[in-house]
Structure 1
Amino acid sequence: MAARDILDLSGRAALVTGGGQGAGRGIALALADHGAAVAVNDFVLDRAEAVAEEIRSAGGSAIAVQADVSDYASVKAAFDKASCQLGTINLLVNNAGMAGPSNKMGRSPEFWQADPAEWPRFFGTNLYGVMNCCHVALPAMVEAGKGGRIVTIVSDSGRLGEQRLAAYAAAKAGAAGFVRSIAKEAGRYGITSNAVSLSTLTPPMSDEQLAEFLETPMSKAQLSQYVIRRYGTPDDVAAMVLFLCSDAASWITGQTYPVNGGYSFTI
C-alpha cells in the first residue's frame, strides 16, 4: 500500500510575494514541485515571469503577477488576476520584505540620528504589505470553506532586536504579532497562520565572488555567531514553508519558527 504524501499540495493555489528572486523564488519552486499552482508576485514583473516560466518549463502551473505589496489597490488587482486564472488562493506566503522595492538595506545610524523619512519603506513592505495581502486573501479562503495556509517571513531582527536596524526590526516584530492575531481570528475556519524567522542568507553572488567573500574578516565574524557555520539558503527557507503549507502542519498555528542555523535559541 502506497503511503500518502502529506506534503502534496495538488489542487491548491498559492501566491508568493517577492517570489522573483532569492528565498521567494525557492519557495515558489518548492510549492510548485509539490503540486500547487503558483502565482509568483514581484515588484518587477520580468523577475516574476522568469520564475513562473521556470515552473511551467518543469511541468507545473504558474503565472506572474506584478504588485507593490505596500499598495492595497495593487495587491487587490494581483489577487484578482491570480484567483481568476488559478482559482481561490488558499496558500499565501508573505515573503516580500527587506526595504521594499528600493531593496536598500544597510545599517542606519543610531535610531535617534536616523531620518524618520526612512521608516515608511520598512513598514510599507514588511508590515503593511503583510496586512494588505491577508486582508485581500482571507475573505476568499473563508468563503471557500476549505481552510487555508498563511505563512509570513519575518526576521531574527524582530525577535532579538538588532542595532542600527530599529525600524526594520520593529516592522518584522509587528508582522510576527499580526500573524498570531490572524491565527486566533481565522482558526475556526481551518485557516492556519504561522511565521518563519530568518537570519542571514547566502549573498547573491557568483561562486567565485562568494568564495572570496567567505574568506573576509566580516564574513568569518558573522558566521562565528551561527552554531551551523554557514549562511542559510533559499532551500532551507522553502523546506519550512512547504511544511507549514501542507497537511502535515494542519494543527499548527500562531507559531514562529526560526530557520537560522542556530543564530539564536530565543523562545
Structure 2
Amino acid sequence: MSDDTFNLSGQIAFVTGAGQGAGRAIALKLARHNVDGVAVNDFMAERAEAVAQEIRDLGVRAIAVPADVGDHGAIQRAADQTRAELGSITLLINNAGNAGPDVTMRPSPVFWETAPEEWDRYFHTNLKGVMNCCHCIIPQMVEQKTGRIVTVVSDAGRIGEARLTAYAAAKAAAAGFMRSIAKETGRYNITANCISLSTLEPALDEPTLSEFLRSDQAKAHVGRYVIRRFGKPDDVANMTLFLCSEAGSWITGQTYPVNGGYSFSL
C-alpha cells in the first residue's frame, strides 16, 4: 500500500516560464510525481512545446500555452485553454521572471540615474505577471475548493540588491502580494507561498558551464554562499514539489529561501 506524501495525482499544474531552466525542472518534477496534467507556459512557443513533449514522453498529459504573463488577456486565454483540455487548474507556479520577454537583465546604474521605462519591464513580468496569473486562475481553484500557488521571488527582493533596485522592488512586491492572497484564499483550502532564490547556474552546454565554473568570476561569486556552489534548477523544483504536495498543506503566506546560505531568515 503506497503512502507517497508527494503524490500529485488528481492535480493540474500551470507553470509559467517553463520553457527552460528552473521552470522546465519544476514542470518535469511535477510530472514525475503523478500530476494529471501540465500546462507549459513560456513566451517562446517552441520552448513551451519542447517541454510539453518531454512531459508527454513521461506518460503525462501536457499542453503548450505560450503567452507573455504580463498580458492579462493572453493569460486568461491560456487558463481557459488549460481548463478545456486538461481540467481545472489546482497548482499555479509563478516562475516567469527576470526581465521577461526582454531577456536582457544586467546591473543598472544607481536608481536615481535610471529611466522609468527601465523599471517597467521588471514590474511587467515579476509583479503584474504574478497578479495576472492569480487573477485568471484562482477562480478555478475557488470552485474546486483546493489549490497551491507557488511564486518564485528573489533574495534581491528579500534583503535588497544594489543596482537591481527595480527588480528587487518587483520581487518584494510579489512576495507581499502573495501574503495577501494567502489570507484571501485560505478559507478555500488554497495555499500561497514564495521561494526566494539567489543565483542559479547559467543555462550553458556542459563544456562551457564547466569552464565558467572554473573561472575566477564564478569562484568569487560562489564564495558568497555557505554551500559553495550555484543553485541548480532541481533545487527550486524540489521545494516547489514540497509546497504543492500534502506535506505543505498547512503552510501558507511564507517565503522560503533556497539560496545556499547566501542570506539567512528567521
Cα shift at 1:266? 3.1
| Residue in structure 1 matched with residue 130 of structure 2 by the alignment | 130
SS for the counterpart of 2:49 is helix
State the TM-score, normalizing by the size of structure 1.
0.98
Cα shift at 1:58? 1.6
8 Å contact 2:31–2:58 — kept in the other structure?
no
Q: Unaligned 5+ residue runs, structure 2? A: none
| Residue in structure 2 matched with residue 22 of structure 1 by the alignment | 21
| Residue in structure 1 matched with residue 237 of structure 2 by the alignment | 238
Cα shift at 1:218? 1.5
Distance 2:8 2:212 in 1: 38
Q: Deviations over 1:18-46 (max 9, x none)?
A: 01000000000001111111000000111
1:49 aligns with 2:59: no
1:191 aligns with 2:227: no
Distance 1:239 1:144 in 2: 25
State the TM-score, normalizing by the size of structure 2.
0.98
What are the residue-to-residue correspondences of 1:54-73 with 2, within 5 Å? 54-73=54-73
Task: State the superposition RMSD in angstroms.
Answer: 0.8
Distance 1:221 1:228 in 2: 13
Distance 1:215 1:51 in 2: 30
1:88 aligns with 2:88: yes
Distance 1:42 1:3 in 2: 35
Number of residue pairs aligned between Structure 1 and Structure 2: 265
What are the residue-to-residue correspondences of 1:175-186 with 2, within 5 Å? 175-186=174-185
Q: Unaligned 5+ residue runs, structure 1? A: none
SS for the counterpart of 2:48 is helix
Distance 2:211 2:15 in 1: 32
Distance 1:11 1:190 in 2: 15
Cα shift at 1:214? 1.6
| Residue in structure 2 matched with residue 97 of structure 1 by the alignment | 97
Cα shift at 1:185? 0.5
Cα shift at 1:54? 0.4
Identity of aligned residues (%): 62
Post-superposition, which runs of at least 4 consecutive aligned residues in structure 1 deviate over 4 A?
none
Distance 2:247 2:265 in 1: 25
Distance 2:52 2:159 in 1: 35
| Residue in structure 2 matched with residue 203 of structure 1 by the alignment | 202
| Residue in structure 1 matched with residue 141 of structure 2 by the alignment | 141
Distance 1:252 1:105 in 2: 32
